[in-house]
A and B are shown apart, each in its own frame.
Chain A
Amino acid sequence: MPANYKDILSHLSTEVDQETLLLYLQGKLSEEKKHEVEKHLLQDDFEDEAVEGLQEFRDKEQLQYMVEMLNRDLKKKTEKKKKRREKMRYKDQPWLYISLLILVLLIALSYIVIHRMLKG
């Protein structure tokens, strides 16, 4: 028995991975494994609060899908930035200059036309 007493005082615990946590939430773990996860949660406020929140989701089977979607979005945010910045520099700007030039020419042209019409 005294060996188990140590668990009450311990802060040192092995991490619980997301997969195990999902199985726990979906009620797919054995009682023994459940105990292990719960013991860990008692030592980690972050994970404990997270599990409390995750239990509020109506469909626990959807959680994995949601996480995958969020991760995909995160990947886009962290990966594409460089490429997008380069595109801005080399592609978008020439168009901007061309459009501005056309606009200036149009204004000048209309000015001349109106001016001549008024004179005429």
Chain B
Amino acid sequence: MKADQFNHITDHELLERFYADHDNEWLGILLQRYTLLLLGVSMKYLRNEEEAKDSVQQIFLKVIQELQKYKVEYFKSWLYMVAKNHCLMRIREKQGKITTEINDRISIKPEEESDRQALLQTDHTLDLMETALNELNPEQQQCVTLFYLQKKSYQEVSGETGYSMLQVKSYIQNGKRNLKILIEKKLQEETNRK
């Protein structure tokens, strides 16, 4: 079976096919979609190219074993958790230290937040955004504006501001999180007043 011909089938459908006939080939097609990501996550934690490659192979095996036992709903989030746990365990084995394992949440839901999403995207919230943006610290404000409003890449933002790429990313991430908190706070205050 060639993986390309299954591109139109969603992860969920591939899993369903596997649960129906228990043919591991479906899992092979599904996992191939994530090889690069698994290699990246493994490298991030293990910091060694060979170990990262080994880790991907072990994660594959683990996933194939686990899926025989459990039914997984949100494959991508679950796989991310399995991959991180695996890497943490390898680090623990190497260091002989105890690190906390992330809970096994098979039914873990991806961040959809549809209700909050709808709430956050009304015109009114977008008005609040402008005020909230001004309340951010200057670094975050500058990076968020350049990235989201002027649609620049990290590299361009870094070139314009003189911050390193890592700083730019962290200012954007934190700025984004703070904006959400600020807007939610403002919305809450408004409902309290009413």
Contact = CB atoms under 8 A, between A and B. Distances in A.
A79 B26 CA distance: 10
B147 A32 contact: no
A98 B125 CA distance: 80
Give the size category of A's interface with B. Answer: 35 or more
A70 interface: yes
A52 to B, nearest CB: 5
23 contacts: A5-B148, A9-B120, A9-B121, A11-B117, A18-B33, A31-B152, A38-B153, A45-B80, A46-B79, A46-B80, A47-B37, A49-B41, A49-B44, A50-B44, A53-B43, A56-B43, A56-B47, A57-B49, A66-B39, A66-B53, A74-B35, A78-B24, A78-B27
Main secondary structure, interface of B, reads helix
Contacts of B60: 70, 74, 77
A50 B84 CA distance: 11
Interface of A: 1-2, 4-12, 18, 21-22, 31-32, 34-35, 38-39, 42-43, 45-47, 49-54, 56-58, 63, 66-67, 70-71, 73-75, 77-79, 81
